[in-house]
């Protein structure tokens, strides 16, 4: 079973701070990460991560889904599988 957790600072830190040198996600300011998400067109409240055993986040897969939703893909090279997580506003 896949357990979903709201984890904006860790995920956005991993994704959005990748090109920022030595800054670490766990040291980043959550407000700054939320600003970076908004600048990318992602609503911060729609950012989720998941624990998919044996899978790792494909950083290049993270981005906007729909108008301001969120999407990320986790891959397992060993198993040859992937898990796609998409979050969007409901009606």
pLDDT in tens, the chain (91 residues): 444 454 554 455 544 444 434 445 556 688 888 898 999 999 999 988 788 999 999 989 999 999 999 999 999 999 999 999 999 998 7
- Euclidean distance between the first and final Cα of the chain, in Å? 27
Any idea where the domains of the chain sit in the sequence?
A: 3-87
The helix/strand/coil state of 40 is coil
Read out DSSP for 39-51? HTT--GGG--EEE
**Residue 87: what are its φ and ψ, rounded to 5°?**
-130, 130
CA distance 33 to 66: 20
Task: Tokens 């729909």: give the residue.
Answer: 66
| Single pTM value for the model | 0.64
């Amino acid at each position: 079973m896949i357990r979903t957790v709201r984890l904006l600072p860790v995920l956005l830190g991993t994704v959005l701070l990748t090109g920022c040198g030595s800054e670490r996600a766990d040291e980043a300011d959550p407000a700054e990460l939320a600003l970076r998400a908004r600048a990318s067109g992602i609503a911060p409240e729609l950012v989720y991560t998941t624990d998919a055993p044996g899978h790792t986040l494909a950083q290049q897969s993270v981005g906007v889904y729909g108008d301001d939703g969120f999407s990320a893909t986790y891959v397992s090279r060993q198993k040859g599988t992937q898990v796609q997580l998409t979050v969007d506003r409901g009606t």
